[in-house]
């Protein structure tokens, strides 16, 4: 009997705690509904809001004040503004996505509202990461876009090496048609599969930001998939490119077409082919330097440059996506492949060059400014020196000089 009484006492204590919580919740809910409802009333009078929308929101507040479950669930699912942690940089509050969509009566939809804080148009520094970007050793990570040029070197190398090895350096065994079609049909099936997968992507997920993130990617492929099949996505509708990384395939295809003439010259007149390749590298580098100087782009993608979407969008679309920017690494790789297959017979120099190219932006990351000419010269020649250093590493290993 005493044990039963103790259980009843414990149950009563628990019930009393929950009763107090309910009372507090009721008081807070009344404060929220009355406060938000009055604020909404003033906003609705000033804004262009339909009467149907106004009546629906009022109904939610009225039902919530009467403690109706559906209305309370709607308010509970709302994201809160300002969000928790605003002073620590948290600028989003997504609410409860699943709870919102599970409410059956009244039928609810999940919507997002974007509030823009008043900030300088072009912030110059990111102070929370300043200790990460300023050390000298961090330049290898911050200047990591140079790794793209390594792949262009390898692409050029394989283009000449594989072609030369296949035909034995004999021009009579070389088929220009096969050379072009083989590259196109090697790249296109995988690209088509990626485009198809992207178009079906909206069916495989949901969430507060799902469509906000996925839809721009999908819409680009809905309207510009055909541009990818022509490998012109870095020139046509590039702001709505289908599959962002596919710019590399377009540039590589352009180089492959141009290299057809270089390879033919190397087979028939090797010296003339090398001269033509050198001229291409020179012309492309000069063209890139001129474009870079005119636009006033930074010397490298460094953290102290303005982190503004429009700023980098112009840099990427008008400069980084263009073939002449990456021509030097590709055609240096093309020459390297020729030297390797023909056995044309510095580790220290190569490593010093790579080190210098990676570390040069160090002072720019500290906030020091560079002139337009210095920026243009660095950003348009660093790829050449990087490609030469990488080429030596490959050549030394391939010819047993390592």
| pLDDT, tens digit, 9 for 90 and up, residues 94-137 | 777 777 777 777 777 777 777 666 655 544 444 455 666 666 66
Helix/strand/coil percent split, the chain, to 5: 75, 0, 25
Average pLDDT score over residue span 310-333: 86
Asked if 263 contacts 276 with a C-beta cutoff of 8 angstroms, the reply is: no
Average pLDDT score over residue span 358-384: 73
pLDDT for res 123: 46
Residue 231 has pLDDT above 90, yes or no: yes
The pTM for the full model equals 0.64
Q: How far apart are CA 292 and CA 314, in angstroms?
A: 11
* Mean per-residue pLDDT of the chain: 78
Of 256 and 357, which is predicted with more confidence? 256
Residue 225 has pLDDT above 90, yes or no: yes
User: Mind listing the pLDDT tens digit for each residue in 263-274?
Assistant: 999 888 888 998
pLDDT for res 190: 93
Residue 43 has pLDDT above 60, yes or no: yes
Average pLDDT score over residue span 244-249: 92
Average pLDDT score over residue span 8-13: 70
Q: Which of 34, 36, 23, 24 is nearest to 80 (CA)?
A: 36
pLDDT for res 305: 56
| pLDDT-derived band at 351, boundaries 50, 70, 90 | confident
| DSSP E strand boundaries for 226-311 | none
pLDDT for res 126: 46
How many whole angstroms from its chain centre is CA 71?
40
Q: Which of 144, 243, 140, 263 is nearest to 197 (CA)?
A: 243
Residue 142 has pLDDT above 50, yes or no: yes
| pLDDT-derived band at 358, boundaries 50, 70, 90 | confident
Q: How far apart are CA 252 and CA 258, in angstroms?
A: 10
Asked if 292 contacts 374 with a C-beta cutoff of 8 angstroms, the reply is: no
Of 187 and 46, which is predicted with more confidence? 187
């Amino acid at each position: 009997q005493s044990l039963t009484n103790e259980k009843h006492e414990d149950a009563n204590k628990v019930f009393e705690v929950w009763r107090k919580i309910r009372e507090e919740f009721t008081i807070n809910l009344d404060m929220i509904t009355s406060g938000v409802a009055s604020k909404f009333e003033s906003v609705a009078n000033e804004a262009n809001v339909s009467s149907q929308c106004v009546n629906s929101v009022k109904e939610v507040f009225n039902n919530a004040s009467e403690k109706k479950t559906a209305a309370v669930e709607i308010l509970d699912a709302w994201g809160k503004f300002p969000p928790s942690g605003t002073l620590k940089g948290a600028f989003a509050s997504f609410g409860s996505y699943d709870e919102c969509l599970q409410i059956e009566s009244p039928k609810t939809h999940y919507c997002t509202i974007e509030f823009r804080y008043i900030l300088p148009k072009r912030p110059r520094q990111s102070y929370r990461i300043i200790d990460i970007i300023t050390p000298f050793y961090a330049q290898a990570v911050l200047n990591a876009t140079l790794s793209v040029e390594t792949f262009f070197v390898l692409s050029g190398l394989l283009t000449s090496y594989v072609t030369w090895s296949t035909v034995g350096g004999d021009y009579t065994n070389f088929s220009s048609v096969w050379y072009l079609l083989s590259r196109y049909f090697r790249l296109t099936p995988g690209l088509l599969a990626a485009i198809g997968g992207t178009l079906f992507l909206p069916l495989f997920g949901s969430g507060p930001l799902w469509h906000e993130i996925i839809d721009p990617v999908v819409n680009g492929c809905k309207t510009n998939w055909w541009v990818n099949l022509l490998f012109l996505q870095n020139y046509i509708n590039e702001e709505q490119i289908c599959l962002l990384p596919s710019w590399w395939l377009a540039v590589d295809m352009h180089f492959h077409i141009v290299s057809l003439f270089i390879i033919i010259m190397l087979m028939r007149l090797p010296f003339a082919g090398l001269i033509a390749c050198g001229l291409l590298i020179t012309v492309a580098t000069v063209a890139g330097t001129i474009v870079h100087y005119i636009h006033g782009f930074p010397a490298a993608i460094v953290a102290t440059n303005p982190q503004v979407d429009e700023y980098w969008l112009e840099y990427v679309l008008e400069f980084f996506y263009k073939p002449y920017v990456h021509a030097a690494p590709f055609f240096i790789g093309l020459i390297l492949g020729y030297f390797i297959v023909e056995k044309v017979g510095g580790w220290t120099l190569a490593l010093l060059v790579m080190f210098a190219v990676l570390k040069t932006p160090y002072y720019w990351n500290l906030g020091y400014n560079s002139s337009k000419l210095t920026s243009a010269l660095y950003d348009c020649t660093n790829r050449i020196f990087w490609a030469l250093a990488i080429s030596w590493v490959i050549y030394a290993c391939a010819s047993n000089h390592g």
